[in-house]
């Protein structure tokens, strides 16, 4: 058996793992990652590298999805573009994947199957069972994987919460896992997001108390922002609004869509008497109003950022408004979150964040919960996944403290191949696992020449020179010189001087040009070097030669 994590290691996001037997391959999750590097301008998302899978198309039996977060399902439309395989996913994830495929409008008719908790899914000689886990989106599951070489447990994203907001199945059902754990588990792959956090994660019960007290005690308008898929938060807020006689308005496309899906699946009630539409906001008493929207990470297109920029049709911040950011800031988003907060404060709002009150809890297990899973599964080998290297290492230490032998703990990189054979596990080679960047409709590698060019223009600007030549390249005339993003003295005299001297020099040096060089290339190179020296710049210079006659 081979186990190959293609994404999600030494990073948060882009999760994908390959499970491969001699005969079959199954993919677990296919997520996107967010690109925040300055060196990659214009690119926001990356997907996992499927080079290895494309070589083994015939063996692939399907994708198994643990839950509906973007870092687990976001790359599915891209994968289905090149691999025609069925998807097995929890109900909420199924709905979100269908929406995605509808939006991406690719002409594929995918087979998406909602999974049932007590069923076994036999994909070739690899068999999957799902156990419910508690996480920040409903319908989240961990996996028990039965392979010809022994059992593997994959945690999915999880936490333990004794008082979750949504239903009992929303608890990490350790009893369900215990019931299906019949034989020894060879490998536990467990998520590491919060492996550096002490103790236990905060229960949803605490969040509920704080949000209730905010909604009860404020007699002004309240605007709450959180993640669109945080359905338990939507439920807490809706219930509090009913309890304290407020009206609720949900703003933002993804928030409205996610809430609708959760209602259809029965995770939350319909709250018909409670809800108002955004266009009705200004017809009711503002002090009785709670607005729920996206934008907790300062995302450009989100509801909260629109409001902070004073760009929302229906909502303008007024003195006395309270904005509650019911989320923690994901590392890397600090600048844009602060920018939104500063703008809201300037407009006269009061802002409450998770630093002020317990208005958010993470969906990921802290140290003690991670220990509990390791102790329940008691695996022979341990592979910390889903997290940056420091989180993977902290998780490795936790496993050590729970009596897993140090040599049985594997801190891997994306693409490293684990080989499980005769109850032994070893690293055996590496497969391609680069970041594949999504650039509009195109997919490119990080080292693509496009990225280099974009960086050059982004840092140093660009100069375009158009040269008109006769048929023998004997008379060359500079007809245009345009600069973008370059500071040059572009006064008429200066540009004229540069043009004239370049013209003169090309025409005189063309006679001395080396014989082996194409005259066209010579002119381009000569002009580019000449301008570089004259203007003392690092800009990209593009010379286009127009031949007439
Ligand atoms: Zn998740
Ligand atoms: Zn995740």
Give residue 208 CA to ligand 2 midpoint distance, Å. Answer: 23
CA 16–ligand 1 middle distance (angstroms): 13
Separation of CA 135 and ligand 1 centre (Å): 7
CATH number for the domain harbouring residue 246: 3.40.50.10710
In a 13 Å sphere around the CA of 90, the CA atoms on its Cβ side amount to 30
Predicted confidence at residue 451, as pLDDT, reads 92
Residue 357 lies inside a defined structural domain of this protein:
no
Q: Which of 445, 469, 496 is the last residue of a domain?
A: 445
State the distance from the centre of ligand 1 to the C-alpha of 432, rounded, in angstroms. 25
Is residue 172, in this structure, part of any structural domain at all? yes
Q: Does the residue 450 lie in any domain?
A: no
Flag whether 71 is in a domain.
yes
Residue 463 pLDDT: 87
In angstroms, rounded to a whole number, what is the distance separating the alpha carbons of residues 50 and 30? Answer: 10
What was the pLDDT predicted at 277?
Answer: 93
Distance 68 CA to ligand 2 centre (A): 9
Measured in Å, residue 160 CA sits from the centre of ligand 2 at 15
* Nearest ligand atom owner, CA of 8: 2
Q: Which regions in the chain score pLDDT beneath 70?
A: 105-108, 167-173, 490-491, 515-516, 549
Q: Is pTM beyond 0.85 here?
A: yes
What is the helix, strand, coil percentage profile of the chain, to 5? 35, 25, 40
Q: What six digits make up the tokens of 337?
A: 């979150």
Closest ligand to 68 CA?
1
For residue range 411-430, list pLDDT tens digits in order. 999 999 999 999 999 999 99
Domain boundary among 352, 380, 404: 352
Looking at residue 167, its pLDDT comes to: 62
Please list, in sequence order, all residues whose beta carbon lies within 8 angstroms of the beta carbon of residue 136, skipping any fewer than 6 positions away.
69, 157, 227, 229, 230, 232, 362, 363
> Which domain-ending residue is among 445, 477, 506?
445
* Whole-number Å distance between alpha carbons of 444 and 447: 8
Å from CA of 443 to ligand 2 middle: 23
Let me know whether 504 and 519 are in one domain. Answer: yes
Task: Name the nearest CA neighbour of 47 among 443, 379, 499.
Answer: 443
Ligand 2 geometric centre to CA of 15 (Å): 7
Cα 47 to ligand 2 centroid, rounded to whole Å: 14
**Helix locations, 224-288, DSSP H:** 231-243, 253-264
Q: Exposure pattern of 97-114 as b/e (b: 16+ CB <10 Å)?
A: beebbeeeeeeeebebee
Q: Could you read off the pLDDT of 25-53 as tens digits, one per residue?
A: 999 999 999 998 888 988 999 999 999 99
In this prediction, residue 330 carries a pLDDT of: 87
Residue 533, pLDDT score: 85
With CA atoms as reference, report the closest residue to 281 among 270, 292, 295.
292
Which of the ligands is closest to the CA of residue 193? Answer: 2
Q: How far is the CA of 81 from the centre of ligand 2 (A)?
A: 23
Q: How far apart are CA 204 and CA 363, in angstroms?
A: 10
Distance (angstroms) between ligand 1 centre and the Cα of 67 equals 7
The rounded distance, in Å, linking the Cα atoms of 532 and 465 is 12
Structural domain span for residue 217: 204-352
Q: How many domains does the chain have?
A: 3
């Amino acid at each position: 058996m081979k186990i190959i994590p293609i994404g999600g290691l030494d990073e948060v996001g882009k999760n994908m793992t390959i499970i491969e037997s001699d005969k079959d391959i199954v993919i677990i999750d296919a997520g996107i990652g967010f690109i925040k590097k300055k060196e990659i301008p214009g690119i926001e998302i990356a997907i996992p590298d499927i080079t290895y899978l494309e070589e083994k198309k015939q063996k692939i039996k399907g994708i198994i999805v643990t839950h509906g977060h973007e870092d687990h399902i976001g790359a599915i439309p891209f994968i289905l573009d090149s691999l025609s395989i069925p998807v097995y996913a929890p109900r909420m994830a199924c709905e979100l994947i269908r929406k995605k495929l509808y939006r991406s409008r690719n002409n594929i008719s995918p087979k998406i199957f909602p999974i049932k908790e007590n069923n076994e899914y036999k994909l070739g000689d690899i068999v999957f069972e799902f156990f419910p886990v508690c996480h920040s989106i409903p319908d989240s599951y961990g996996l028990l994987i039965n392979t010809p070489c022994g059992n593997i447990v994959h945690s999915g994203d999880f936490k333990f919460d004794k008082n979750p907001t949504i239903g009992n199945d929303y608890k990490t059902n350790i009893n369900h896992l215990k019931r299906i754990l019949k034989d020894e588990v060879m490998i536990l792959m467990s998520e590491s997001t919060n492996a550096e956090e002490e103790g236990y994660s905060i229960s949803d019960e605490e969040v509920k108390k704080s949000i209730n007290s905010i909604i009860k005690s404020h007699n002004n308008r309240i605007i709450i922002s959180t993640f669109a898929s945080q359905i338990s938060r939507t439920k807490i807020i809706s219930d509090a609004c009913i309890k304290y006689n407020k009206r609720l308005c949900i703003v933002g496309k993804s928030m409205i869509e996610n809430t609708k899906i959760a209602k259809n699946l029965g995770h939350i009630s319909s709250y018909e008497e409670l809800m108002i539409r955004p266009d009705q906001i200004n017809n009711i008493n503002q002090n009785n109003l709670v607005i729920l929207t996206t934008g907790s990470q300062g995302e450009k297109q989100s509801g909260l950022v629109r409001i902070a920029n004073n760009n929302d049709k229906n909502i303008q911040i007024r003195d006395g408004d309270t904005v509650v950011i019911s989320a923690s800031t994901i590392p890397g988003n600090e600048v844009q979150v602060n920018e939104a907060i500063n703008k809201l404060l300037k407009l006269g709002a009061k802002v409450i964040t998770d630093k002020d009150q317990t208005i958010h809890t993470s969906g990921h297990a802290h140290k003690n919960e991670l220990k509990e899973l390791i102790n329940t599964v008691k695996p022979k080998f341990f592979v910390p996944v889903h997290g940056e290297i420091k989180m993977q290492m902290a998780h490795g230490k936790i496993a050590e403290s729970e009596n897993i032998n140090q040599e049985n703990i594997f801190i891997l990189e994306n693409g490293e191949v684990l080989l499980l054979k005769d109850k032994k596990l070893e690293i055996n080679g590496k497969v391609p696992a680069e970041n594949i960047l999504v650039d509009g409709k195109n997919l490119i590698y990080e080292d693509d020449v496009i990225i280099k060019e974009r960086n050059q223009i982004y840092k140093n600007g660009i100069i375009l020179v158009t040269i008109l030549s006769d048929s023998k390249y004997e008379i060359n005339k500079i007809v245009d010189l345009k600069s973008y993003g370059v500071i040059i003295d572009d006064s008429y005299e200066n540009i004229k001087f540069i043009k004239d001297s370049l013209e003169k020099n090309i025409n005189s040096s063309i006679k001395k040009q080396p014989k082996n060089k194409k005259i066209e290339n010579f002119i381009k190179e000569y002009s580019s070097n000449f301008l570089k020296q004259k203007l003392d710049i690092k800009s990209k210079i593009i010379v286009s030669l127009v031949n007439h006659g």
